[in-house]
Structure formats: structure tokens, C-alpha cells
Structure 1
Amino acid sequence: MQMDKELQRQVNNSWACYWSLKQIVKSKDIPMLTKSKVYNMCILPILTYRCQTWGLTKAHQQKLKICQHRMERSMLNIKLKDKWSLRKIKKATGVMHVTRKIQRLKERWNGHVVSSLKEKWTKEIIS
């Protein structure tokens, strides 16, 4: 239950950021490359904030994917009824996939934890 609330908070915060950047991400005059860079640098970090410690279920991952897909469709100004495949949307936007971003952050976090444990272990032996 707590994880659901945390996840919903992250989704809501990322949408708030998205709409605060509406003049950029919804503009037809700004190239998609610029929009995707703004998404990857400003919105995706909010969506994945503190994800390193999350125990994500398939349902949680799906919720994050849905959020991202909705934002991508909004950036492209297309509707669900336009029937674009997710592959076509990904190719058109070029944004980093949310589950890949989380996987990378978790791997980096695990590296920090392991190196921290090694340092503590070696300090114990030396002392």
C-alpha cells in the first residue's frame, strides 16, 4: 500500500513537471530531439526519483510505462485512437525507456552499496 502511494506521488509530480514545461513539450515548432532531451533531463528523473530502493512489481512497472507512454503521445500530439504502435512512438520520440532508466539506477546503487560494504569490511580487518 505504501509503495502504491509513493509511486502515485512520483507519477503526479512528473505530470506536474510535464505540464509546467508545456510550452516546450507540446510545441509544434520545437524539434523532437529537443523535446526528448527535456523529457530525459527534467521529467524522467522526477518519475524515477528514489527508485533505487523500490521493490517494483510488474503492476508498478506497468503504471510507470503507461505514464511515460501517455506523455510521449502528448509530445507527439497523437491520440490513442490514432493506433500508433509503442515501437513507432519510441522511435519518433527517442526518450529513454523508464524501466531501463530504473534498471541503470538500481545497478549504480548496488555498486555503491557493495563498495560501501567492502570499505567497512576492510576497515574492520585493519583495525
Structure 2
Amino acid sequence: MLKSLDAILNTGIRIAIGAYTTTPIQSLLVDIVQLPLNLRSQMQGMIYGLKILSFEKHPLSEEMKQNEETNNIRALINNRNDMHWTISDRLQAAQKCFYAHKNLFKSRLLNRTIKLRIYKTIIQPVLTYSCESWTMTKNDERSLKIFERNILRKIFGPKIDENHEYRRRTNAELEELINGQNVIKAIKSQRLRWAGHVVRMTDDRMPKRIFDATPYNTRARGRPRSRWLDEIEEDCRKIGVQRWRVIAQDRSEWRKIVNEVKAHPEL
């Protein structure tokens, strides 16, 4: 079973998870507990609900990239649990979306409230597509914040200081204008929402079985990369939520926590 799975991972596959039509893959994952540890990060994309996955070693990667960029549903996973390229793709797609609607942000007929709503309903969903499965480094968070601040400066414009001169708005001023509801907190909120959904799944569901599995084998040398579950637990610790798996069983209570995260000062 492991040899068959390893062969598929080495050649690369493209699978659709949304409708759970991946019968060959499910048959290989019947005994998921036997998976080696170094394959766990590659399987995490399946666990956390990416609709389309494509592996970097796929022999038709160029054709797949072209098709997926056209459909705007591309996501890459690898054996290092590195989401940098996926986030870079999302930034490029969001940049294109912004320039496609640039005239709206320049228009004097629209006030700032409407422009901010346009950003949050059209551009931000493109930027955060499949963010429920992301593990972000500090550099990734910085890149996402820089992109958002550039758009916010377009929306709110410069500020007149005490000398009656125009100056650029600071990062702190922009955070105050949006009440602290930045893109990073939006991503973490979506990630917690999906975590609660996975925890509430029945034990016979494939994502839940992989989520609860404990693969064996030794780790590679060096500091382990931050896992998706590590970041979920770290976010819960920062907002003061204990025993989050138990709380997540209550949909109403968990929904309140997810909404609070969008503007929580500790995140």
C-alpha cells in the first residue's frame, strides 16, 4: 500500500476533493495510520479541504498551471508543508483583480465605505482562496499585509497633518480605520471555522480519519516546520480558548469565537 501511495506522490496527481469522487485515493488511505510521517504534510491538503490539489512534480505541471490560473482555483502542496508558492499565486491573482477594478477605487462618485466593501467582497476572497489550509510564516503574513495596506491607502488617501501638508497614512492609522479587521485575522478566522467543521465531522469521514491519525516514522533533521494544527492551537491560546475541540462541538459558541477572531487584538 505504501509503495503504491509513494509512486503516486512521486509522479504527482491532480484530484478533486469537493465531491469526494477520488475513489482510488480513498482506497489507498483505508489504513492511514500506517503512513510515514514525511507524507503527512502532503496529505494535509486533503485533510483541510482544498478543492483542487496539484503536486509540483506533475509531468503536466505547466499545462495544469495554465488551466488552474484560468479557473482561479490553483493550490500547491509539497512535502515541506510550505505554502509560500500558493500564497504568492493568490497575491498575483488578487493584484490582477485589483487592477481590473482600479477605476472604482479612483472614482470620486464612490465614498470610502463603498470602496472598502468592494475590496472585502471582490478582492479579498480572491486573495484568501483556500486559506483554511494555510500555514503562514512571518514573511507570508508581511506580504499579505503589505498588499492590503497598498489598497487601503488607495481607498483612504493621504492625511493632512498639523502643518496642512499631505502625508502618507501610517500602518497604525490604517489599522484604526478598519477597526483592526485586517486580512491576517480574516484568514485565521476562516482557518478556525474550518477546524471546527473538521472536528464535528463523523468518524467515518475521510478528512476526520486523517485528522485524528498518528503517522509513524522519524522526522527529518532540523527544526520541524509549523503544522496547520500547531497554528490552530497557538491562535486558540492567544485568544484564551481552552479545550477548543470540545467547544467546537457547539456550533453557536464556536461561531461566536470565529467572529471575535476577525478583530481580536492579540492576533
The answer, yes or no, to whether TM exceeds 0.5 is: yes
Find the counterpart in structure 2 of residue 124 from structure 1.
Answer: none
Higher strand proportion: 2
Q: Is the 8 A contact 1:13 1:47 kept in 2?
A: yes
In structure 2, how many angstroms separate the alpha carbons of the residues matched to 1:101 and 1:109?
A: 13
In structure 2, how many angstroms separate the alpha carbons of the residues matched to 1:28 and 1:64?
A: 27
Question: Compared with structure 1, are the counterparts of its residues 93 and 101 closer, same or farther at alpha carbon in structure 2 (3 Å cutoff)?
Answer: closer
In structure 2, how many angstroms separate the alpha carbons of the residues matched to 1:108 and 1:114?
A: 10
Q: Shift of residue 42 of structure 1?
A: 0.7
Question: Compared with structure 1, are the counterparts of its residues 70 and 25 closer, same or farther at alpha carbon in structure 2 (3 Å cutoff)?
Answer: same
Q: What secondary structure does 1:120 align onto?
A: coil
Q: Shift of residue 94 of structure 1?
A: 6.4
The equivalent position to 2:152 in structure 1, one of 51, 56, 72, is 72
Structure 1 or 2, whichever has the larger Rg, is: 2
Find the counterpart in structure 2 of residue 125 from structure 1.
Answer: none
The equivalent position to 1:46 in structure 2, one of 122, 126, 145, is 126
Q: Which has the higher contact order (CA 8 A, sep 6+)?
A: 1
In structure 1, how many angstroms separate the alpha carbons of the residues matched to 2:97 and 2:170?
A: 25
Q: How many residues align?
A: 118
Q: How does 1:1-127 map to 2 (within 5 A)?
A: 3-78=83-158, 82-92=167-177, 96-116=181-201, 119-120=202-203
Question: Compared with structure 1, are the counterparts of its residues 27 and 92 closer, same or farther at alpha carbon in structure 2 (3 Å cutoff)?
Answer: farther
Q: Shift of residue 91 of structure 1?
A: 4.0
Deviation string, structure 1 residues 46-72 (Cα, Å, up to 9, x no partner): 111111111111111111001101111
* TM value normalised by structure 2: 0.40
In structure 2, how many angstroms separate the alpha carbons of the residues matched to 1:94 and 1:40?
A: 14
Gaps of 5+ in 2: 1-79, 159-165, 205-267
Q: What secondary structure does 2:108 align onto?
A: coil
Q: Is the 8 A contact 1:11 1:47 kept in 2?
A: yes
Deviation string, structure 1 residues 11-61 (Cα, Å, up to 9, x no partner): 111111111111212212210000011111111111111111111111111
What percentage of aligned pairs have identical amino acids?
A: 24
Gaps of 5+ in 1: 122-127
Question: Compared with structure 1, are the counterparts of its residues 45 and 95 closer, same or farther at alpha carbon in structure 2 (3 Å cutoff)?
Answer: farther
Higher helix proportion: 1
Structure 1 residue ranges (4+ consecutive) displaced by more than 3 angstroms after TM superposition: 90-96
Q: What secondary structure does 2:110 align onto?
A: coil
Q: Is the 8 A contact 1:52 1:105 kept in 2?
A: yes
Q: Is the 8 A contact 1:24 1:30 kept in 2?
A: yes
Q: Shift of residue 83 of structure 1?
A: 3.3
- The alignment yields a C-alpha RMSD, in angstroms, of 2.4
* TM value normalised by structure 1: 0.80
Q: What secondary structure does 1:28 align onto?
A: coil
In structure 2, how many angstroms separate the alpha carbons of the residues matched to 1:83 and 1:34?
A: 21
